[in-house]
Amino acid sequence: MFPLFRILVFILKGLPLSVTNPFFWTVLLIIWLQYRKAADLEERMFGVVKISPGQKVLYAVLFGTLGGIAGSLVIVFLGISITEAGLIYVWPLAIMLMLIHPHLMCFSYAGGIVSLFSLIFGYPRVDVAGLMALVAVLHMVESLLIYTAGHLNSAPVFIQDKRYGIVGGFSLQEFWPVPIMLLAVVLGQAPTQDIINMPDWWPVIKPPPGILGRQDAVYLMIPVVAALGYGDVALTRTPRARSRASALNLLFFSVTLLLLSITASRIHAFKFVAALFAPAAHEALIILGRKNEREKQPLFAPSARGIRVLDVVKGSPAEKMGIEPGDIILSINGRQIEDVEDIRQIKAAFPTYVWVDVLKTDGSFKTLEVSAYPEGMSTLGVLLVPKSQDVPFVVMEEKGMLERLRKLFRKRTG
């Protein structure tokens, strides 16, 4: 029987040690800077920041820790060892790939390339099955985090669409510091305390031949910090629906890669399959996801009648009365609404009572109301999709550092 409770106790004891790792605080700083940058953009475009960078960092630490516990349990259950995983080669390669394009900073690409070099040329010496299994588990944790928290910090943006002009959307940018327990194998005298005897069927991921069958092999838990991130744009669906669809696709990819890795630890030929599948399938997920978003009609395109709501400020009168993203405001206090200026003129009168006729996303009409006695209402608290094309927008494609340096060089020499 698998000693789940004792393993969990070991994990909970070891994870706090990750906080003493300088890399943990480096990751936190990077996350805060990313959220600060997003908040500045949000304030410039809409005059309001929905969630402060500090709050976002707290959410990231909370969800990242929960994801680390779940990932550690899976790693220990499978017996995935990093002893010959080749992480010393994977990390630098992932950073180099990031210079080409940000989305390439991923273990799927770097791990797949390192594994293929090891299989074809014999260098570096890497436990391909163990490395691919670790990649699968990290992506599995990432999928769980995206499903539960991928939409929480979504930021409204305007995007240039070739067919519909300027449309509204949501930038989904999430980062998580994930403290996680990895396994390392040592050979020799076993320690006399804190030993857990594992079942005969363990480990599921068979170690390399030099370790397999050794009676003096001992697995040690080592606390480390991983950094996981999620970047996407929701145009045709709500942020929650978009992130959850992406999470389910990533989970399917992770489970498939994990099964290939388990098989690869027993059948050599499947090491090639797993090493090729990781980068190819991951890239296919990204391409298909972007293609799907571009081909469907945007959810937040300008409306021919009334004006469409892109987002609602938390705690605002609009949220209290039940206005939701995607709704179309048709009239306020009986006055027909066609642009932002119409709403601005109504707010200037500081009305103490407001009723709004809206067309909901399901096609139904509703009249919503809210009162603000005696001071009156100075703001409705909605972010609107403008009908004018003369507005700031964010492009979907993010260029790599090499491409940006190339353009900067050409600009200066030109």
Residue 403 has pLDDT above 60, yes or no: no
- What is the average pLDDT across 326-336? 92
pLDDT of residue 315: 82
> Would you kindly state where each structural domain of the chain is located, as residue ranges?
4-190+197-295, 307-384
Tell me which range, 56-60, 159-163, 182-186, 251-255, is most confidently predicted by mean pLDDT.
251-255
What is the CATH architecture of 307-384?
Answer: Roll (2.30)
Kindly report, residue by residue over 81-127, the tens digit of the pLDDT: 887 778 888 888 887 887 787 777 788 999 999 999 999 999 898 99
- What is the average pLDDT across 297-313? 89
pLDDT of residue 210: 74
pLDDT of residue 180: 92
Exposed, middle or buried: residue 392 (CB in 10 Å: 0-12, 13-18, 19+)?
Answer: exposed
Lowest-pLDDT range of 161-165, 242-246, 343-347 = 161-165
Determine the Cα–Cα distance for residues 358 and 332; give it in Å rounded to an integer.
Answer: 9
Kindly report, residue by residue over 345-388, the tens digit of the pLDDT: 888 888 888 899 999 988 899 999 988 777 777 888 888 888 87
Exposed, middle or buried: residue 408 (CB in 10 Å: 0-12, 13-18, 19+)?
Answer: exposed
Residue 409 has pLDDT above 80, yes or no: no
What token pair was written down for 358? 């809206």
pLDDT of residue 347: 83
Residue 138 has pLDDT above 80, yes or no: yes
Lowest-pLDDT range of 50-54, 228-232, 395-399 = 395-399
pLDDT of residue 398: 57
Residue 264 has pLDDT above 70, yes or no: yes
Residue 254 has pLDDT above 90, yes or no: yes
pLDDT of residue 399: 57
Residue 408 has pLDDT above 60, yes or no: no
pLDDT of residue 353: 87
pLDDT of residue 51: 83
Which residues on adjacent β-strands are paired with residue 311?
A: 383
The four Cα atoms 298, 299, 300, 303 give a dihedral, to 10 degrees, of: 90
Kindly report, residue by residue over 166-213, the tens digit of the pLDDT: 888 888 888 899 999 999 888 776 555 578 888 888 999 988 877 766
